[in-house]
Amino acid sequence: MKNPGVAAVLSFFFCGLGQIYNGQILKGIIMLVCYAISALMMYVVIGFITTPILWIWGMYDAYRTAEKKNRL
């Protein structure tokens, strides 16, 4: 059983960590890399748009995935 709240909080503190907690290792690593690239792109202004989107989507996805895993 995976706790959806824990998954969301982990993603809140570090994007992709909630996915890793849920057992989606590759997806979590990809999100970590994309978030790091997006954060670096803040120097080019586009990162100010993409970074919050990735961060919020990561929390939502981690929560939703944990709920799905618990239903199975």
pLDDT per residue over 30-72, tens digit each? 999 999 999 999 888 888 999 999 999 999 999 999 999 999 7
Checking if the pLDDT of 8 tops 90, the result is yes
pLDDT of residue 42: 87
Give the CA dihedral 66, 12, 42, 48, nearest 10 degrees: 80
Determine the residue type at 51.
T
Full-model pTM = 0.88
How many angstroms separate the CA atoms of 55 and 38, rounded? 10
Determine the residue type at 53.
I
Core vs surface per residue 35-54: b (16+ CB within 10 A) or e: beebeeeeeeeebeebbeeb
pLDDT of residue 47: 87
